[in-house]
Structure formats: structure tokens, C-alpha cells
Amino acid sequence: MSLSINDRLCTSLHFVGVLGTGMSALAQYLRRQSLTISGSDRLLGSPSTERVRNILETMDCRLGPQDGTLVTKDVDGLVVSTAIEENNPEIASARKLGIPVFHRSDVLAAIIASRKTVAVAGTSGKSTVAALIFHCLRECGFDPSIITGANLNTLVNEGLVGNAWTGESDLLVVEADESDGSLVKYHPYLSVFLNVSLDHKPIPVVVDLFKTLAGQSTATLVNADDPRLCAIGGQRTFGYSHNADYRATSLDSRKEGAGIEMSGVSYRVPYPGLYMAWNLLAAVAACREMGCAPPHLRRATGVYGGIQRRFDTITTSTGVTVIDDFAHNPEKIRAAVSAVQNLSNRVIMLFQPHGFGPTKFMREELVKTLKEIIRPTDALFLLPVYYAGGTADKSISSQDLVRDIGRSPGYVAAPAGREEIPALVAEMTKGNDIVISMGARDPSLPELARKIADAIDMRKK
């Protein structure tokens, strides 16, 4: 098996940063397509990457340190992400040997072109909607493939990493990520546009990127209720408005999950939040476009297993619930917090900004959102800004955000470190409180949520 990337036929690829979510998904998919895969990662020996490393090695992916030793003349291409800097020794080794350097989006674009691909685009909800579409297509008998940015619990339970699967059909589901603008390389069969809000880039820039992707898609499915997506146009629409092709006549969220009704059929997923109902609506519309029959689709949504770090819930012996969630931009934070505030009169929020650049870019909107969502009974802890390594301007901190928030109806603080957080939060909780920990990129955040739950349980003893 080979893959044509930028007109070069490749049978062997080396991934720099192979243990990252986006890179490991490509590595798994291509290894299952019988390509020879090697890779390096600066976190190769870290406990946080051990599971992914072990699975890749079981698949006969050759892994090593990020020093260029695995970049040999037998490699047809070196694959990098936007996070890999030009002075990386692996890039130097590739240049010396005349090996082409591909961005991960070049590889994904080549895969998309080789399949009947459903690409999910939008500032929020991409991973969930992509996972839902894949799950429902699979349950409806289509046996699709998926390359995504989050781990599906059903795939994890099968002993896989969870962010990739290679099916027998020509159907493929992917996320079309707007963060670095590279989605303009993709030419999918169906593009699904969910929403636009502030995250990585200014909104007008994102809309232009989406317009380009729409023009390169055989078919499009657009949220009719997001006015910023109107510029995209679209052959087909979904939404709550009367002019939507796939119209939900109701959307609801209960403690046991979210649901919609469309054309007289009720669809539900076992995860709460109105935002989850919108994700469900988009996924159902996409699956209907791809040929899923409503009765089969209804059964499929009811057994959706979710993805890691999306409303992951830990129940303590005290009645306090701890939730770990990927929310990291203003819209996602508002949606996640709104969902839990509907379930409890007191919410203790923890938010770790996921990088110095994003925090600066979203500073004003972040502060506005955090001020608006906190109630007098709530508490908010802003954890130190996550630093993933590399070149970064660190001239902003969580303490700056606290100062910007100023007077608040609830308790707001920015601890100097995370070590004190479990005991501090445990001391504050009581009754049916909910603790929600939010943030992206940091693989240790699920462990923090677990430590908080353990500290709450220990306090009872």
C-alpha cells in the first residue's frame, strides 16, 4: 500500500511528535493501510504517553527519541505538525537526506482525497459530532473509518488508542480543524459546518476558510441557525429554524442526556447539555445525508459511548460529582458550565488556559465569559497557563485574568500551582456540589480530576 502526498508516492513515513493526538491518529490509520511507520516524540518516556506508545509499538510502529536517528534514506517523507519548529533536529536530518517534509494536513488531505469523506468543521463540537457520525454509521452497518482529535470510548474499550479506526468501506469521517488554516487543502465528499466563534483566529478569517472548504466539497451541510455561516451558503441545512432541511422541532437537555425530535422521530444521547442536543442534530442530519434510516439511527444514538474528556464524570462517595471536560474557549466554557449549573446550585470551576498565545488572543472574550457565568454560590480557580514547550511569549498569566475579572459575585482565585488544588477543592465541597475541571492539550488534566475526587472521598473518612 502507498499514499500519494503532493504527487510523491510514499510507502514509509516518519512522524515527528507521533504521540500527539492528531499525529498518532494518522500513524495508526496508515499503519493499518500497510505503510511503514516510524516516529519520535519528546514525551516518549513520559507516563502520560505510555498507553499510546505501547499500542503503536504493538502495531509495529518504530519509535525513538526526537534526535534524527530514525530519519534514514528509507523514509519517503517526514511528517510534522504546526507545533514542530523549523530547528527541530529531525527536520535537519530530513533536509540533509533530501527527504520531503510534509505538514500533517498534507497527509490528511491525501487520505481525504482517497475516500468518500465526511469532514466536520466548526469552532466547537467537531470531535463530538465526528465521533457521533462515525458511531452511527458503524451501528447502521456502513463500517466507516475515522481520523479524529479525541478518543472514542468504544474504541478505547476495544484496546485501541481511540482516535482512529480503519473500516472496510470507502467512508471516512474526519475533523476539519481551522486552527492553522490548513483545512483549505481538503476536498471531501460532504462538509458539515457546525458554528463559528472566537478561538484560534478572528471570526471573519474562519468564515473565509469555511467558504473555501465548502467550495471544494461535493456536498455541504450548514447550521441554518448560525448567522455567521450564512456567507458559506450550502446545499443542505440543519437547525431549529423553519427553513432548515433537517429541522429539529424540539431540543432538550435532562440529567440523563440530551435529545431532539426530527420528522416525528426522537433521538437521544446519554450526555446532558443543550450544546449536546445541537451536536446530536448535526450528526443525525449528516447520517441522514449519508443514507442512514431513521429507525436504525435512533437506536444508534441511544448507545453512543462518548469520547474522552467530554463531560467525563466521577461520582464520589459524598454525593459530589467531579467532571473533566475539554472546554477551552469562551463558547465551550459557557456551554459546559451552563450544563452543570442546570444540575446543581453550586459549581466549583477549574480552568487551565491551554497556552500563552491563545490566552492573549482570547483574553477579552474569556474574561467577559467568566464574569458572566459565575453565580454568587459558585467558585472559579484559574490554574497556571499550560506550557507545552517551544518558543512562547509568557507575558500573560492567570493572575492577569483574575485582575481583569475584578469584582465577581462568586469566589475567584488563581493559585500559584496545582499541587494544592485537590485538598483546597475538597475542603470547599459539600452536598450535591459539582466540580468541573476544564482545559485542553494537557494530558495530565484527567489525573487532576481523579485526584480531586480522591481528596473528596478521603475527606469523608
CATH of the domain at 201: 3.40.1190.10
Confidence of residue 458 (pLDDT cuts 50, 70, 90): confident
3-state class (DSSP) for residue 255: coil
Q: Please give the sequence-ordered ranges of beta strands (E in DSSP) within 240-308, or none if there are none.
A: 246-254, 257-262, 265-269
Report the pLDDT averaged over residues 273-300: 96
Closest CA to 130 of 264, 21, 216, 31: 21
The predicted-structure confidence for 228-283, as pLDDT tens digits, reads as follows 898 887 789 999 988 899 999 999 988 889 999 999 999 999 998 888 999 999 99
Residues 273 and 186 in one domain: yes
3-state class (DSSP) for residue 88: coil
Per-residue model confidence (pLDDT) at position 310 = 82
Q: Is 371 exposed, middle or buried (0-12, 13-18, 19+ CB in 10 A)?
A: middle
- Which is higher by pLDDT, 403 or 181? 403
Q: In the listed set 268, 302, 336, which residue is the last one of a domain according to the structure? A: 302
Q: In the listed set 49, 74, 103, which residue is the last one of a domain according to the structure? A: 103
For the chain, report the end-to-end CA distance as a whole number of angstroms: 58
Closest CA to 222 of 120, 360, 310, 325: 120
pTM for the predicted model, two decimal places: 0.86
The predicted-structure confidence for 109-156, as pLDDT tens digits, reads as follows 999 999 999 999 998 899 999 999 999 999 999 999 999 999 999 999
Residues 206 and 293 in one domain: yes
Domain tally for the chain?
3
- Which is higher by pLDDT, 68 or 14? 14
Confidence of residue 460 (pLDDT cuts 50, 70, 90): low
DSSP string covering 363-428: HHHHHHHHHHH--TT-EEEEPPPP--SSS------HHHHHHHH-S-SSEEE--S-STTHHHHHHHH
Residues 6+ apart with CB under 8 A from 367: 401, 404, 405
Cell of residue 344, nine digits: 446543581
CATH of the domain at 451: 3.90.190.20
Residues 277 and 319 in one domain: no
Instruction: Tell me how many degrees the CA angle 174-176-181 measures, rounded to the nearest 5.
Output: 150
Report the pLDDT averaged over residues 225-230: 90
Residue 285: how many other CB atoms lie within 10 Å: 27
- What is the residue range of 55's domain? 3-103
Cell of residue 67, nine digits: 534526535
Residue 461's alpha-carbon distances to 435, 441, 453, 457, in angstroms, are 19, 34, 13, 7
Residues 297 and 316 in one domain: no
Rg (CA), the chain: 22
Whether 10 maps to a domain, the answer reads yes
Per-residue model confidence (pLDDT) at position 140 = 96
Strands 219-223 and 236-239, by their bridges, are parallel
Measured CA to CA, the distance from residue 343 to residue 320 in angstroms comes to 12
Residues 133 and 273 in one domain: yes
The predicted-structure confidence for 26-74, as pLDDT tens digits, reads as follows 999 999 999 999 999 988 888 888 999 999 999 999 999 999 999 999 9
Measured CA to CA, the distance from residue 88 to residue 16 in angstroms comes to 9
The predicted-structure confidence for 415-440, as pLDDT tens digits, reads as follows 988 889 999 999 999 888 999 999 98
Residues 283 and 333 in one domain: no
Q: In the listed set 76, 103, 130, which residue is the last one of a domain according to the structure? A: 103
In the chain, the percentage of residues whose pLDDT exceeds 90 is 73
**Phi and psi, residue 117, nearest 5°:** -105, 135
In the chain, the percentage of residues whose pLDDT exceeds 70 is 99
CATH of the domain at 24: 3.40.50.720
Instruction: Tell me how many degrees the CA angle 293-227-253 measures, rounded to the nearest 5.
Output: 50
